Chain A
Amino acid sequence: MKAHDNPFASRYMDSLPYIPIGTDWERILGGLKNQSGRGAVVGPKGTGKTTFLEELKRRLSREGYTVHLLRLNQERKRPDREEVRQICSGLDLQSAVLLDGAEQLSRLGWISFVFKTRKAGILVASSHSPGLLPTLLKTTATPELLQILANRLLPEDSPLEPEHSFRLFHARNGNLRLALMDLYDIWARR
């Protein structure tokens, strides 16, 4: 199968929504308000932290917030100084700063970032472990969630079977993104 026909091509995977487990968006947003607009999204790799932040960005934008989403990763361990300076110069209570991959920052870097963004009405950071901000959400993944997500991309007549989902999920230690990429390879061979 050619890449543009593959249901697990990146652009389709990236369009998948965040599906809360054991909670819902109303509770999450209510929790954020109760925590004075500060919260951490905590969970292992590939469990939906980035997807959550993207969905949060859409929802906050709809509520009238000016949202800034910054991404850090192994290749980009600290935010661009000029970008942060520009963002921070215009922050107010209707601003939201979302930082993906906060674990990349040093302790000092994190303290500095929190200080610079103090005027923002909302600050949410994702991290692999708790402790940066009061935990707002713990992302978890299950074989059932993998099956739900895969079946959103697959044709109705070719759903992912529970057993297959279970095997893929455990082969990738619960990393949904990697499991979905394995499905890409399986479909590419068709």
Chain B
Amino acid sequence: MTMMNVQLDGGTIFKPGETITGQVSWYLDKRPKAARVRLFWYTMGKGTEDSQVEDQLVFDKPMQQDNRSFKFKLPVAPYSFSGTLITLRWGVELDIKGVKEVCAKEFVLSPFEKEIVL
């Protein structure tokens, strides 16, 4: 049985330059060789999509059942936005070597305390 979870502290709306903290936890069938948490954004919509990992934290000696904290300083851009042609979203994901699925939690990065609507 595989269980993975990502939790963000302080809600799901953050301002550019703020620090985002949270916890990740997992329970796996066996001890993983590696585990990391990544801060990323991606676009979605019509045409070519884009994505970028802005930062990552690799956990030392991950256990079969584990619980770790993370902390990232958010960049000043790009902001989260949504439109009919393209959407940009931010997220934090837990990526464990040998586990096909990733567990992610999305959040909004915006100076206006909400997603920008185009």
Contacts and interface: CB of A to CB of B under 8 A. Distances in A.
Answer whether A and B are interacting partners.
yes
B84 A188 contact: yes
A151 interface: no
Nearest to B49: A10
B44 A11 contact: yes
A3 B47 contact: no
A181 B89 CA distance: 22
B89 A4 contact: yes
Given A2-B82, A3-B82, A4-B82, A181 B46 contact: yes
A58 to B, nearest CB: 14
A184 B46 CA distance: 7
* Interface-central residue, A10, A185, A189, by most chain B CB under 10 Å: A10
* Interface-central residue, B49, B84, B89, by most chain A CB under 10 Å: B84
A3 B44 CA distance: 6
A10 B84 contact: no
B45 interface: yes
A181 B49 CA distance: 14
Contacts of A11: 44, 49
A9 interface: yes
Contacts of B49: 9-11
Contacts of B44: 3-4, 9-11
A96 to B, nearest CB: 22
Interface in B76-93: 82-87, 89
B55 to A, nearest CB: 23
Interface of B: 44-49, 82-87, 89
7 contacts: A2-B83, A3-B85, A4-B87, A9-B46, A9-B49, A10-B48, A188-B46
